[in-house]
Structure 1
Amino acid sequence: MSRRTSRPRRPAPVVEASPRITPASPCPCGLPGTYGDCCGRLHASAAAAPTCEALMRSRYSAFVVRDAAYLLRTWHPGTRPPSVDFDPALRWVRLEILETTEGSAFHTTGTVTFRAHYTDDGRPDSLHEQSRFVRHDGAWVYASAVFVD
């Protein structure tokens, strides 16, 4: 998942993980269950995403909790940026999975089309994107994206 913006980029300060998400919190990805039992396990490297949709959900949750290490670890090395900067004015609030193609245990590629809702300085907006995932060294990784809107 990437983010586009029309306003000038400001320097990104060091931002700590969101204090309101705990292992007992509902998982930000939208699936039933707690963060600790869902995406938190993937963030902690206790499990790997079995599908590209699971990876997409866990990457969204990583943006919510501001886990740059997980985002970089699950980004294809050919397209991975040197770092991930988090905008302190931006808050991710909800993820909608709109379509998934391939991306199961039997595939080597897959796509997930989604809409991620956020607020930017309190103003609601959303990001509509189709992300492409590939298997790299046996694990699903984010490769690239196309903005739908």
Structure 2
Amino acid sequence: MSTRPCPCGLPDPYAECCGRYHSGAAAAPTAEALMRSRYSAFVQGDTAYLLRTWHPRTRPARLGLDPGMRWTGLEILGTSDGSAFHSVGTVTFRASFRGGSLHERSRFERVDGAWVYLDGEFLED
């Protein structure tokens, strides 16, 4: 089992953190955990996971990732709802990449009990 750190920024090894969501061994229990796992999926180039965790209403038919993109860090700036007791939630974050950053407020919903990404709003820094 890999002991490399998880790209999402939490201290656990990838396999024990977001890797278990990517493999399907577990489902993200909160909107923030799903946000972190989706960031890690972008780092890993895991388009299947990204599409699987996208709301059916807003999911694109396919997703092309830039193989040259180098993500360098994730900072969670705020959350609203999104716990086991909610059906919706938002996560505001900054994802850094070589040469810049992406600042977004993402909305999440539960579909059949599982958290999925609904959409996001880009924010100015």
Q: If the length of structure 2 is used for normalisation, what is the TM-score? A: 0.97
Select which of 40, 47, 69 maps to 1:61.
40
Select which of 63, 73, 77 maps to 1:84.
63
Unaligned 5+ residue runs, structure 2? none
Percentage identity across aligned positions? 65
Equivalences for residues 117-128 of structure 1 within 5 A: 117-119=96-98, 124-128=99-103
Aligned to 1:9: none
Please tell me whether residue 97 in structure 1 is matched to residue 76 in structure 2: yes
Secondary structure of the corresponding residue to residue 27 of structure 2: coil
Equivalences for residues 3-82 of structure 1 within 5 A: 23-82=2-61
Do 1:23 and 1:40's aligned partners in 2 also have CA atoms closer than 8 Å? no
Secondary structure of the corresponding residue to residue 96 of structure 1: strand
Q: Rg bigger for which structure?
A: 1
Runs of 4+ in 1 over 2 A off after TM superposition: none
RMSD: 0.9
1:23-56: per-residue Cα shift (whole Å, max 9, x none)?
3210000001100000000000000000000000
Secondary structure of the corresponding residue to residue 97 of structure 2: strand
Secondary structure of the corresponding residue to residue 19 of structure 2: helix
> Which one has the bigger helix percentage?
2
- Alpha-carbon deviation of 1:106? 0.2
Quote the Cα distance in structure 2 between the aligned partners of 1:144 and 1:127. 14
Quote the Cα distance in structure 1 between the aligned partners of 2:6 and 2:23. 14
1:88-144: per-residue Cα shift (whole Å, max 9, x none)?
22111100000000000000000000000001xxxx200000000000011000000
The residue type paired with residue 109 of structure 1 is V
Q: If the length of structure 1 is used for normalisation, what is the TM-score? A: 0.81
Quote the Cα distance in structure 1 between the aligned partners of 2:70 and 2:2. 19
Select which of 109, 112, 123 maps to 2:91.
112
Aligned length, in residue pairs: 124
